Amino acid sequence: MTANTRAARLPAAALLLILVWLVVYPLLLVLLEGIQGPGGWTLAHVHEFVARPTEWEALRGSLIISVASVVLAALVGIPLAVLFARYDFPGRRILAGLVALPAVLPPLVGVVAFLFLYGESGFLARAVQAALGLEEPPWRLEGAPAILLVHAYSMYVYFYLLVRAALLSLDGAQLEAAASLGASRGRTLRRVVLPALRPALTGAALLTFMTALASFSAPYVFGGGYRVMTTQIVATRLNGEEALAMVETMSLTLLAVLALTLFRDADRDPARGVGKGTAPAPVRVRRTLARAGLAVLGWGLAVLLLLPHLTLGLVSLVPVGTWTVEALPPAWTLGNYATLVRDPVRLRPLLNSLALATAATSASIVIGLAAGILVVRRRAPGRRLIELLLGLPWAVPGTVFAIALATAFSVHQPAAGRWILVGTVWILPLAYLVRSLPLTSRTTLAGFRALDPSLDEAAAALGAGRWRTLTAVTLPLLRPSLVAGGTLAFVTSLGDFVTSIVLYTYDTRPISLEILSSLRQADVGVAAAYGVVLMILSGLVFAAAADRRTSAG
């Protein structure tokens, strides 16, 4: 243990304490509440959980949805990745970026966009209804198929991004070597390409599975009678069955941890790439017809994938009550946006979300920085635990954390580290902070690891103290990582729905809840306008971040 490491003991202990309090303690309290009754310890709630068929139905539903989402997302994402990584056609570059867009948009916005496009009173249903002269809408967007459609539509991006990156980092020389050794195309694919893609495939599958398992917006809006655990927990809690909700929360956590462990084992891959190669050049399609065909395919897919979001834009321009049975809206106006800005009551959620996201992101970056210094630079004792705790909120579904925080901070027991925060302005930023810890810490830690430690030493040798080294050398060099992590955290907090619906108060209501209540009041145009504002804000933040990154390089 170096002197550096020793001196880091105290700050590391402080950081661990904060993380345990924020991340582990609330989950632990959920567990305790689940096995406690008025008369002390009891397994009554667990028995009740096991005995109810609806609980098993919800667990099974979550599992089925998650597995099916992985399959569907792979079916959309992998061909798309191959198309954009291997073939060259007009517009390839722009489209390659555009089709990644759904990943950066808040899930609720995607769900609402879907509703407007494919829902029973959506754009498409009306067109079909009008074309066939039907009395009733031709379909209802409901249940498992609806959830899966939304999931496939948004989660393909994981497969698309990871597989495309893996394809682009393939060593072209390896393919040529396989060909020169007499391997057929099929054998090359099986023995060379697929093994190289395996880490990307398992990674994308894990991301999709965890996201689908934690998904709340789609089942909440489209689920109908179909039970999944995330919505079940919120419903049970609304019914006043607190203890049962705790058991449900634990069951969902266990499912998530189990999935994570299984995937971890599958990902132990000894055949990681050795050395860097040059990516094989994209196949330049020469025949004009094939080229045109690919371009049409690429553009067609991109439009299809982005159509819901375009629909959202369209709906946001329709005045209240004017669009009833027509296939296309009869009137266009910016009135919905005007309502949003002029009416202080409706503007409030927008300002709330911005303030909450800013507060949570700032705190999250500070914690990420502290962790980077302690874990990477000082190699503080307990650094593995710090890193584990920072990553944990990623593995635990948002609903679980929302319930856990609601449980932990609804009691006044300062001695036990519990205060009444539920119902105050503090609970939402705290929840957003916990949820964004994995995002900022991952990029910050990676940034610190990529930073040559001798830069710090050089500053020290040149007489700079800790503070000057941090502000003049470390922070400027970490800026790209901080911006990347901060952007993700900010956009995630800005569009958060899953924790907000459990923890919000009227005064802190965020955009997502305003969208929901506008929908409930059939104020469709304003809901869409909020969705568009959220999309644009997210997009602007990302664009600004990308701009800063390039100008910093």
Partner 1 sequence: MTDRFLTLEALTRRFGDHVAVNRVSLTLARGEILALLGPSGSGKTTTLRLLAGFESPDAGRVLVEGADVTGLTPAARRFGMVFQHYALFPHLDVGANVAFGLESLGVRGDELDRRVTKALALVDLAGFEHRRIAQLSGGQQQRVAVARALAPEPRVLLLDEPLSNLDPTLRERTRRELRDVIRRVGITTVLVTHEQEEAFDLGDRVAVLREGRLEQVGTPDELYGAPATPFVARFVGRASELRGRLLGRTSEGARLEVEGCVWTVPTGDSARSEIAPGAAIQILLRPEALWLAPLHPGALAATVLERRFAGASALYLVRTEAGTLLEVGGPGAAATAGDRVGLAPSRRSGGGIHLFPT
Name the site residues for partner 1 (rule: CB under 8 A): 2-3, 452, 454-455, 457-465, 468, 472-473, 476-477, 552
Which CB atom, from 132 or from 461, has the smaller least distance to partner 1? 461
Which CB atom, from 190 or from 466, has the smaller least distance to partner 1? 466
**CA 421 to CA 410: how far, in whole Å?**
6
CB of 489 to partner 1, least distance (A): 23
By residue count, the chain amounts to 553
Write out the two tokens for 393: 């909120």
Which CB atom, from 303 or from 462, has the smaller least distance to partner 1? 462
CB of 457 to partner 1, least distance (A): 5
Which CB atom, from 97 or from 453, has the smaller least distance to partner 1? 453
Which CB atom, from 69 or from 474, has the smaller least distance to partner 1? 474
CB of 462 to partner 1, least distance (A): 3
**CA 183 to CA 347: how far, in whole Å?**
63
Rg, Å, the chain Cα set: 25
Coil, strand or helix at 36: strand
**143-168 and 194-214 are packed helices; what angle lies between their axes, rounded to 10 degrees?**
150
Which CB atom, from 110 or from 480, has the smaller least distance to partner 1? 480
Which CB atom, from 334 or from 475, has the smaller least distance to partner 1? 475
CB of 329 to partner 1, least distance (A): 51
CB of 437 to partner 1, least distance (A): 27
The backbone torsions φ and ψ at residue 37, rounded to the nearest 5 degrees and listed phi first, read -130, -175
Task: Report the DSSP beta bridge partners of residue 40.
Answer: 37
DSSP 189: I
Query: Which one, of 162, 475, 145, 526, lies nearest residue 321 by Cα?
Result: 526
Instruction: Show the beta-strand stretches assigned E in 23-102.
Output: 36-37, 40-41, 87-88
175 contacts 189 by C-beta, under 8 angstroms: no
Which CB atom, from 134 or from 552, has the smaller least distance to partner 1? 552
**CA 388 to CA 445: how far, in whole Å?**
12
- For residue 42, the one-letter residue type is T
CB of 8 to partner 1, least distance (A): 15
> Which CB contacts under 8 angstroms, 24+ apart, belong to 250-253?
250/30, 250/31, 250/34, 251/49, 251/55, 251/59, 252/62, 252/213, 252/397, 252/399, 252/400, 253/27, 253/396, 253/397, 253/400
CB of 453 to partner 1, least distance (A): 9
CB of 488 to partner 1, least distance (A): 23
